[in-house]
């Protein structure tokens, strides 16, 4: 870790990495233990740093440079990771997480690819006004969809709600059956608005990335369906595999864009 909290230092204060330690594209799981499960899918990797909840490894997937940094639980720590990774020149971020689905047709083990997010968390509000949208980068969404299709994983694309608490903020009872105001109707209201899932980091990631002109997206495994009551910790490796392949596809997309002399991916371009 850095001995200084100066954001201009090469080695970043919280995540403990410098400009030579990470690839342009970084996967962002919450749980540090998930780093090993992600890197097990890669060609090779080396751990670069581990401080607090932030554990970073860099390697390659199908020959494409790639990194992973765990962020811990929630948007405040995720925003720190994005800030410091951007300062060491990372420019593409994909959250790899777990979530609760709220639409009845979604099964445990399915993937949810976030196209945009409801900003119920508080971190993004410290960056920009509340009516600023949390939108995933269209290239990242396209790469995640293509990856899920190639891997034959069941997936859904749509809106995510990000909360700051696992219990009261997600409509669950707190200690002693405490109920936050509006919690009993929260999930129903989100479901009726066609929100797909609930988690705790995507909205801040997408908002901060857009403010800074970076690419970001999210793919989460469904661990629970809040409508059917089903719960299993399943599909974690599918999200990791999909995100890793998406980074490889994004690299190929960027190469095709350069060759075509265009700045944005569009349906007129193709990759092998």
- Domain CATH code at residue 247: 3.40.50.1580
> Does the annotation count 172 as an active-site position?
yes
> Does the annotation count 55 as an active-site position?
no
The mean pLDDT of 257-264, rounded to a whole number, is 96
Nearest residue to 89 (alpha-carbon basis) of 139, 45, 26:
26
Is 14 within the bounds of a domain?
A: no
DSSP assignment letter at 176: G
Is 33 within the bounds of a domain?
A: yes
Is 123 within the bounds of a domain?
A: yes
Is 88 within the bounds of a domain?
A: yes
Q: What is the DSSP string of 123-146?
A: TGGGTS-TTS-EE--HHHHHHHHH
Q: Radius of gyration of the chain from Cα atoms?
A: 18
**Which of 226, 236, 238, 241 is the catalytic position?**
226
Task: Give every CB contact of residue 75 below 8 A, 6+ residues apart in sequence.
Answer: 121, 122, 123, 124, 162, 164, 200, 201, 203, 204, 205
**Which of 53, 84, 199, 241 is the catalytic position?**
84
Is 262 within the bounds of a domain?
A: no
* Each residue's pLDDT tens digit, 131-150: 999 999 999 999 999 999 99
Taking the model in full, what pTM does it have?
0.95
Is 45 within the bounds of a domain?
A: yes
* Each residue's pLDDT tens digit, 224-237: 998 888 887 877 89
Is 2 within the bounds of a domain?
A: no
CB 210 within 8 A of CB 86: no
* Each residue's pLDDT tens digit, 102-112: 999 999 999 99
> Does the annotation count 95 as an active-site position?
no
The total number of structural domains in the chain stands at 1
Higher-pLDDT residue of 59 and 5 is 59
> Does the annotation count 156 as an active-site position?
no
Q: Determine the structural domain holding residue 224 and report its residue range.
A: 25-256
Question: What pLDDT is recorded for position 2?
Answer: 57
**Which of 172, 215, 238, 248 is the catalytic position?**
172
% pLDDT > 70, the chain: 97
Is 83 within the bounds of a domain?
A: yes
């Amino acid at each position: 870790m850095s001995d200084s909290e100066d954001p201009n230092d090469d080695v970043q204060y919280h995540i403990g990495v410098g400009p030579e330690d990470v690839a342009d594209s970084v996967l962002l799981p919450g749980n540090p233990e998930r780093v090993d499960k992600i890197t097990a899918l890669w060609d090779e990797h080396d751990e670069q740093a581990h401080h607090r909840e932030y554990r970073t490894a860099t390697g390659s997937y199908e020959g494409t440079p790639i990194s992973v940094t765990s962020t811990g639980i929630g948007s405040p720590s995720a925003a720190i990771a994005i800030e410091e990774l951007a300062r060491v020149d990372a420019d593409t971020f994909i959250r790899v997480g777990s979530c609760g689905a709220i639409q009845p047709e979604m099964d445990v083990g399915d993937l949810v690819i976030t196209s945009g997010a409801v900003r119920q968390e508080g971190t993004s509000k410290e960056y920009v006004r509340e009516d600023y949208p949390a939108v995933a980068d269209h290239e990242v969404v396209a790469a995640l969809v293509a990856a899920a299709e190639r891997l034959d994983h069941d997936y859904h694309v749509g809106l995510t709600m990000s909360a700051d608490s696992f219990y009261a903020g997600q409509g669950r009872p707190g200690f002693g059956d405490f109920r936050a105001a509006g919690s009993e109707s929260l999930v129903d209201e989100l479901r009726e608005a066609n929100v797909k899932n609930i988690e705790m980091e995507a909205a801040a990631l997408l908002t901060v990335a857009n403010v800074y002109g970076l690419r970001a997206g999210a793919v989460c495994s469904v661990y629970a369906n809040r409508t059917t009551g089903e719960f299993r910790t399943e599909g974690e490796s599918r999200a990791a595999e999909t995100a890793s392949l998406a980074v490889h596809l994004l690299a190929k997309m960027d190469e095709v864009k350069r060759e075509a002399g265009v700045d944005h991916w569009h349906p007129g371009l193709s990759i092998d």
